[in-house]
Structure 1
Amino acid sequence: MYREIRQCRRVRETTVVLILVIIASALICPASATQPAYSAFPWGDEPLAGDAKAPVPVEVWQIPPLVVVLVLASIILPACLTPLEILTCCGGALTLNFRRIRKKSALDNVCRKEIHRYIIANPGAGFSEIERGVPVNRGTLEYHLAVLHRERLVVAIYRNNRAFYFENAGRFSDEEMDGMARMKNERAQSICRFLSSSPDVSQKEIARWMGVTVSTISWHLQRLLKAQLVTSGREGRMVRYRLTPFAAEILERITLSRGEEEHMVTGGRERITIKQANTVDAPGG
């Protein structure tokens, strides 16, 4: 199958080259015409009688506008023909040198496929997290993420000037993606972990456990409540907080992904392997 695809690509590229060569030849080669010799003879046997009449001068405003336009076009267009030929040839050369990546072939690159798999396994992963999980340099990761986003294989949501990536397959609603992105915050995640092990606690208890101020905990809890990751209930004068089942599921996924990441690091996965695979489809090639 891959051999047939390559064959089709070669035929397509050869056809494009031939068409460009024909167009360039037609534009560059000057047109030429031979003028046959001719002679003028009088209509009859008698010579022409009368004086020759000189041409009558005509003022510019007496010339029809169409004639003026045609004369100007015949003067200007030949001067524009050479730049047009140069631009056409350069455009053909650029088309042959750069290859457009389509959605069907976007995952043919090994490095890009690895990044896509990591995003599927770790929904809501940020740039730094992907960089730690998939050992590639920063510039290469930016390029491949841009290709995946352009071909709509992944979707990115932005929170606090940070991008969080998800598989573009309709697995999560907007609310779920928002919750996962907020859970990526380390302090918010620590609050959720504490609520998972100790439900129905107050802001003061959370602040005491984390060693931060109550106002800091209140700020994070308000955002977790808005994202429906935490619920609150009043008990007398005390407001107590509990983790939602959805937040518990997200927390479990994050824990599993961290375990897989540590396993990948301890397994001695080498950075050079992905770099070699990346040479198949580099940004400039």
Structure 2
Amino acid sequence: IHPERIFLDPTPLYVWNVPLNTVILGLLAITVPTTLFVLIQILFSLSAWLQLGHKRVTDGNILDNENRNAVYTCIWKNPGTSMRNLSQMLGMNIGTLRYHVGVLYRMGKVTAEQNSGGMRYYVGVGTCSDLEKILAGCLNVHPKIRIINLVLQHPGIVRKDIASRLILSGPNVTWHMRSLTREGIVKSEKDGRNVRYYLRPDVKEYIKAHKSWHLVSGGKGVSGTGT
């Protein structure tokens, strides 16, 4: 993974997520002469230094910033989370969040991995288990999220009931259950003519402990609706 890849996160950055001083400078760059623009830019920088002070970010003080500390802690508690989920959990706009994640990444405090659903973030290097990475990948596949939460709430549920509750076709459920079983998330047990599904104990504990799963299920799971 290369440091520059962190800025390729596909999460949209809208103008209202950009700091006001950046927007103002962008507008001034279009409307005023170059010499005057440079002077205004210097004044903006001096103003920020006077208000906040200039402090070089080092490994020792990187988490002294309250927002950055909150971002780091949230990633630590929710390995494999996305920029969008971080923004929702922290109530922080994407522009500010992207800046702090970038600083943490460049200083080696967090790592980023690209998968089919975009960037996923983890604390440190080599601290994330295979299970965490697999479950993080499931957050990108909505049917899998719904199935996993349903099996969590109804251990021993059979294919017919999963299809009925989630308004999915039987073959579609079978396809996802084979994938989840192969990935070590779900285990199956034969019960006469039926196959019953259960979450593996470590998966169950992980989901109960991490906010990202409560976020995608609205904090209520998926109890029987197809929405």
TM-score (norm 1): 0.49
Q: Among the aligned pairs, what percent are the same residue?
A: 27
Let me know the Cα RMSD of the aligned residues. Answer: 3.0
Alignment of 1:114-153 (within 5 A): 114-153=70-109
**Aligned counterpart for 1:198 among listed residues 154, 158, 175:** 154
Task: Please list the CA deviations of residues 192-241 of structure 1 after superposition, one character each: whole Å capped at 9, or x if unmatched.
Answer: 22212322333222111111222332333233223211012334554332
- 1:162 aligns with 118
Structure 1 distance, partners of 2:97, 2:126, is: 24
Q: Which amino acid aligns with 2:187?
A: T
Q: Counterpart in 1 of 2:134?
A: 179
- Deviations along 1:98-120, one digit per CA (max 9) or x if unpaired, are 98643333223222111111112
Task: Establish whether residue 209 from structure 1 lines up as the match of residue 165 from structure 2.
Answer: yes
Contact 1:121–1:257, Cα closer than 8 Å, also in 2? no
Q: Is the 8 A contact 1:159 1:181 kept in 2?
A: no
The change in CA–CA distance for 1:236 and 1:114 in structure 2 (over 3 A counts) is: same
Deviation at 1:248, TM superposition (A): 0.6
Contact kept? 1:225, 1:231, Cα under 8 Å: yes
Is contact 2:190-2:196 (8 Å) kept?
A: yes
Please report how far the alpha carbon of residue 170 of structure 1 lies from its aligned counterpart in structure 2 after TM superposition: 5.2
Partner of 1:13: none
Q: Report the AA paired with residue 177 of structure 1.
A: E
Once the two structures are TM-superposed, the CA of residue 169 in structure 1 deviates from its matched residue by 6.4
Counting only pairs closer than 5 Å after superposition, residues 69-84 of structure 1 correspond to structure 2 as none
Deviation at 1:146, TM superposition (A): 1.8
* Structure exhibiting the larger radius of gyration computed from Cα positions: 1
Aligned length: 163
State the 1:131 CA deviation: 0.5
Checking the alignment, whether the CA contact within 8 Å between 1:123 and 1:180 is kept in structure 2 is no
Structure 2: segments with no counterpart, 5+ residues: 1-53, 219-227
Asked if 1:251 corresponds to 2:207, the answer is yes
1:202 & 1:162 partners in 2: Cα distance? 32
Q: Say if 1:237 and 1:258 are closer, same or farther in 2 by CA, change over 3 A.
A: closer
Relative to structure 1, is the Cα distance of residues 214 and 165 closer, same or farther in structure 2, using a 3 angstrom cutoff?
same
AA paired with 2:81? A
Residue number among 218, 240, 246 corresponding to 2:174 in the alignment: 218
Partners of 1:191 and 1:232 lie apart in 2 by 14
Give me the whole-angstrom Cα distance separating, in 2, the residues matched to 1:178 and 1:122: 11
Q: Secondary structure at the match of 2:91?
A: coil
4+ aligned runs moved over 6 Å, structure 1: none
Structure 1: runs of 5+ lacking an equivalent: 1-97, 263-285
Contact residue 201 and residue 242 of structure 1 kept, 8 A: yes
